[in-house]
Amino acid sequence: MVQRPRGTRDFLPDVMNRRLAFENLLENRALSHGFKRVQTPIFETLDLFTAKSGPGVVKQLYAFQDKSDRALTLRPELTAPVMRMVSEEMRSSPKPLRLSYFGQCFRYEESKKGRYREFFQYGAELIGASGPLAEAEVVALAIDMLDACGLLEYEVRIGHVGVLRDILTGLGLSEQGEPEAPVASAMRLLDKGDWDGLTELFAANNVDSSATGNLRRLSELDGGIETLESARSILSTMGISHDSLDELAALLTALESLAPTPPSLKVNLCVARGLDYYTGMVFEVNVAELGGEGQVLGGGSYKLLHLFGLEDLDPSCGFGLGFDRVLLALEAQAERAGRSEVVPGETPAPRTLMLPFKVDSTAVLGIVKSLRDEGHHVELDLRGKNIGKSLDWASKNGFTNVVIVGPQDIESGQCSVKNLVSGDQNVVNLDSGSISAVL
């Protein structure tokens, strides 16, 4: 038996219906915030991603040579391709750009629930504007999307890598180094809360270990915008600038007006996002019930366009939304709540079966076309069974109405329109207008 490759999925009609509803919902929110959809190729040259993330990423890529020995790869994410597209084709477009995208990405890693080798990302990038207001616009779109799809109990964590970076370089840690800069190592350890690891790192780099106390107090701040006051006093005792905190405060204030209030929003100055190209605000969203793979969205302000000779547009701000994971969370929450509709608006439109019975089907084809043109969802019966079986079949297959046209109907110029949900039946003239009126 031929099987699907590991980590890939087929989407059957019912699932696809839900995914389309979800995508449309996200698309509508993006448009309402002025973000316009773009699309880039499924594969790109390999160096696009090694330039962004270093040579180490290759082992996680579906990389290959084409027939002319070009080094290519299936895309593992969409931010770099969009940046490439902007540098290649949108240099002279008026800025700022608000772009959104949706598509599959590929990573060669172990597949699990919520983690596939082919997965789908919806994202948005705001290019050519920076600062707290631009960041607030991006975060507001992210929260608006999650709110619109009905997700519950998610936690938004917002931080600013500038704070930690200022502290760590102030302590004398270097931003250069192989295989990983000490500053980056320290941020990763702080993100994980690995204090032993951090103490070791400080010792290895001759950093005064007393700094860990202040870092710990900083990491233990728990709450929203009000925790910034405590953060300020900690930074003051360390002699670190308040600039990053001021930016964060402005962003959070703007966000309160721009976005729906999320179930939980926490300032977390240790969010590092595992990425060294983030330069300012960073944020991520987690859903606890997904367990280990619970991050459903992540983004922030980053510098990437300098890689394409567009340093004047840095930094940009954006986020990626894990389409599959949000859907999993919505499905879990819908099941827990006993709700049949998982994605708002996924319930399909009513469907009608045109059932010619012992008559030549060609007599009703024109009516089928007219009903479709009027916007009804109509299927022509192709089985040719008796009425009992046909109604049974129609009912099992989710039709709401059946138009029955038999020999007597043709003679009298009428037909029966039966509603399968209520059982009501109407005899109307055999024309699309009359039928349409009772559907």
Residues that bind RNA (CB under 7 A): 1, 3, 5-8, 49, 52-53, 57, 60-61, 76-77, 79-80, 107, 109-114, 188, 192, 273-275, 277, 291-293, 295, 298, 357-358, 383, 385-389, 391-396, 404, 406-409, 416, 418-421, 423, 425
Whether the ω angle into residue 96 lies within 30 degrees of 0, i.e. cis, is yes
Q: Which is nearer to RNA, 190 or 404 (CB)?
A: 404
Least distance from RNA to the Cβ atom of residue 404, Å: 5
CB 96 within 8 A of CB 126: yes
Residue 313 Cβ vs RNA, minimum distance, rounded to whole Å:
18
Q: Which is nearer to RNA, 240 or 409 (CB)?
A: 409
If phi over 0 gives left and psi between -120 and 50 gives alpha, with beta otherwise, what is residue 291? Answer: left
* Residue 211 beta carbon to RNA: minimum distance, rounded to whole angstroms: 22
Given the complex with RNA, which of 35 and 49 has the nearer CB atom?
A: 49
Nearest-approach distance from CB 161 to RNA, in angstroms: 12
Name the residue nearer to RNA (CB basis): 77 or 246: 77
Nearest to 370 by CA among 432, 439, 437, 434: 432
Give least dist CB 195 to RNA, A: 14
Helix axes 211-219, 195-204, angle to 10 degrees: 150
* Strand blocks (E) in 84-168: 97-106, 118-127, 154-160
Residue 353 CB, nearest distance to RNA (Å)? 11
Helices and strands, number each (H, E), in the chain: 15, 16
The DSSP result for 389-415, as a single string, is HHHHHHHHTT-SEEEEE-HHHHHHTEE
- Residue 81 vs 262, nearer CB to RNA: 81
Number of C-beta neighbours around residue 406 at 10 A: 15
| Token pair listed for 251 | 């962003």
State the Cα–Cα distance between residues 363 and 367, nearest whole angstrom: 8
Q: For residue 345, how many other CB atoms are within 10 A of its CB?
A: 13
Q: How far apart are the first and last CA of the chain?
A: 45
Which is closer to RNA, CB of 53 or CB of 268?
53
DSSP secondary structure string, 250-275?
HHHHHHHHHSPPPSEEEE-TT--TT-
Indicate the residue among 25 and 85 with the shorter CB distance to RNA: 85
Minimum gap (Å) between residue 358 Cβ and RNA: 6
- Yes or no: say if 126 and 30 are a contact pair by the CB < 8 Å rule: no
Q: Which of 48, 149 has the CB closer to RNA?
A: 48
Report how far residue 388's alpha carbon sits from residue 40's, in angstroms, rounded to the nearest whole number: 51
* Minimum gap (Å) between residue 95 Cβ and RNA: 23
**Nearer to RNA (CB atom), residue 39 or residue 386:** 386
Using CA atoms, how far apart are residues 428 and 403, in angstroms rounded to an integer?
10
**Least CB distance to RNA at residue 286 (A):** 10
